[in-house]
């Protein structure tokens, strides 16, 4: 039994969504289920909508830079905290009240929340952290604490 009934050439022609829908139907038929819900708000209830935003972490000589993509959110939707050398970023996009208007068939814009914890390998200064949000990208800069080990010292060996 073939799960995909279309040839590979249909994928190259941009018919990916139709092929995926066909795969979903075949998969449901295989297990005797009918009309299994797709990835929509009815499949994931609003109270369980969570997402995992992409984050880039880079290290410099003096600190760390973090960039996270969180489109559709503003700075008031997001909180950033630094505790025990771990950066905690969380946010929530709330649903606006929906008006019942004639002609609206479906609502696909979703809301949800996220939570990220990013530990740093080296001690960082909780007083020297800055965060900026622009065009759905959150940029955070965290300075490292000066390491005493970098200064070095001679160790005397006792007898």
Long-range Cβ pairs for the range 78-82 (8 Å, 24+): 78/133, 78/138, 80/129, 80/131, 80/138, 80/140, 82/124, 82/126, 82/129, 82/142
pTM: 0.58
pLDDT in tens, the chain (159 residues): 444 444 455 455 456 666 766 676 666 666 554 444 444 333 434 445 778 888 999 999 999 999 999 988 899 999 999 999 999 999 998 766 566 666 766 666 667 889 999 999 889 999 999 999 999 999 999 999 987 655 566 767 777
Same domain, 20 and 68: no
In a domain, 90, yes or no: yes
Shared domain for 18 and 82, answered yes or no, is: no
Give start and end residues of each alpha helix (H) in the chain: 8-12, 16-30, 148-151
Has residue 26 been placed in a domain? yes
Range of the domain at 37: 11-43
- For residues 39 and 67, membership in a common domain is answered with no
Residue 91's closest CA among 78, 81, 72?
78
Q: Report d(CA 60, CA 42) in Å as an integer.
A: 44
């Amino acid at each position: 039994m073939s799960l995909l009934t279309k040839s590979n050439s249909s994928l190259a022609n941009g018919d990916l969504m139709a092929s995926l829908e066909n795969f979903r139907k075949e998969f449901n038929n295989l297990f005797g289920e009918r009309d299994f819900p797709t990835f929509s708000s009815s499949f994931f209830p609003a109270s369980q909508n969570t997402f995992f935003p992409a984050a880039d972490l880079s290290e410099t000589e003096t600190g760390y830079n973090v960039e996270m993509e969180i489109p559709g959110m503003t700075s008031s939707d997001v909180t950033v905290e630094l505790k025990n050398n771990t950066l905690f970023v969380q946010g929530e996009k709330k649903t606006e009240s929906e008006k019942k208007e004639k002609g609206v068939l479906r609502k696909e814009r979703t809301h949800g929340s996220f939570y990220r914890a990013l530990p740093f390998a080296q001690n960082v200064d909780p007083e020297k952290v800055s965060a900026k949000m622009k065009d759905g990208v959150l940029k955070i800069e965290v300075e490292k604490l000066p390491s005493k080990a970098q200064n070095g010292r001679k160790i005397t060996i006792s007898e």
